[in-house]
Amino acid sequence: MTDRRENLLLLLPGLLLLGLAFFLPIARMLVLSVEGEAGTLTGEHFARFLTDPFYLGVLWRTVRLSLLITVLCALIGFPLAYIIARAPPRLSLWLIVIVILPLMTSVVVRTFGWMVILSRNGLIPSTLRDLGLVGRTFALMQTETAIVLGMVQVLLPFMVLSVLGVLTRLDPRLEEAARTMGCSFAGSVRRVVLPLALPGLAAGSVLVFTLSASSFVTPNLLGGSRLQVLAASIYRAVTQTLDWPFAAAQAVILFAGIVLVLAPYIRQTARAAHG
Partner 1 sequence: MVREVPPALRLAAWVFTLAAAVFLLAPLVVVMGVSVSENQFIAFPPEGFTLRWYKAVLGDARYLSAAWVSLRLALIVTVLALVVGGAAAIALHRRTLPGSEVLATLFLSPLILPTIIFAIGMLMFWSAVFGPVGFATLVLGHLLVCLPYVVRTTLAVLAESDPFLEEAARTMGAGRLQRLWRVVLPQCRPGLAAGAFFAFNISFDEAVLSLFLRRPGLTTLPVQIYGQMEFSPDPSVAAVSSIMIFITVALLVVIDRVLGIRRFSTG
**95 binds partner 1 per the rule CB under 8 A:** yes
Single out the segment in contact with partner 1 by CB under 8 A; choices: 38-46, 47-55, 60-68, 164-172: 164-172
Q: How many angstroms separate the CA atoms of 202 and 31, rounded?
A: 33
Q: Is 17 or 47 the residue whose CB approaches partner 1 more closely?
A: 17
**106 binds partner 1 per the rule CB under 8 A:** yes
| Torsion sign, CA atoms 34, 40, 45, 50 | positive
**148 binds partner 1 per the rule CB under 8 A:** no
Interior angle at CA 49, CA 47 and CA 53, nearest 5: 115
Q: Is 122 or 199 the residue whose CB approaches partner 1 more closely?
A: 122
What CA–CA distances, in Å, run from 74 to 43, 105, 121, 266?
38, 21, 31, 19
Q: Is 53 or 118 the residue whose CB approaches partner 1 more closely?
A: 118
| Torsion sign, CA atoms 119, 120, 123, 127 | positive
**264 binds partner 1 per the rule CB under 8 A:** no
Contact assessment for residue 260 and residue 150, using Cβ atoms and an 8 Å cutoff: no
- Neighbour-count burial of 123, counting CB atoms closer than 10 A to its CB (0-12 exposed, 13-18 middle, 19+ buried): exposed
**168 binds partner 1 per the rule CB under 8 A:** yes
Q: How far is the CB of 83 from partner 1 (least distance, A)?
A: 5
| Torsion sign, CA atoms 55, 56, 58, 63 | positive
Q: How many angstroms separate the CA atoms of 167 and 203, rounded?
A: 13
Size of the chain, expressed as the number of residues it contains: 275
Q: At what angle do helices 194-213 and 144-167 cross, to 10 degrees?
A: 140
Q: Is 9 or 47 the residue whose CB approaches partner 1 more closely?
A: 9
**242 binds partner 1 per the rule CB under 8 A:** no
**115 binds partner 1 per the rule CB under 8 A:** yes
Q: How many angstroms separate the CA atoms of 63 and 212, rounded?
A: 9
The pattern of x and - marking residues 187 through 226 that bind partner 1 according to CB under 8 A reads -----------------------xx-xxxxx---x-----
Single out the segment in contact with partner 1 by CB under 8 A; choices: 48-56, 60-68, 190-198, 255-263: 255-263
Q: Is 198 or 225 the residue whose CB approaches partner 1 more closely?
A: 225
**46 binds partner 1 per the rule CB under 8 A:** no
Single residue of 46, 128, 196, 235 touching partner 1 by CB under 8 A = 235
Single residue of 50, 98, 139, 242 touching partner 1 by CB under 8 A = 98
Q: Is 168 or 241 the residue whose CB approaches partner 1 more closely?
A: 168
Single residue of 47, 56, 100, 242 touching partner 1 by CB under 8 A = 100
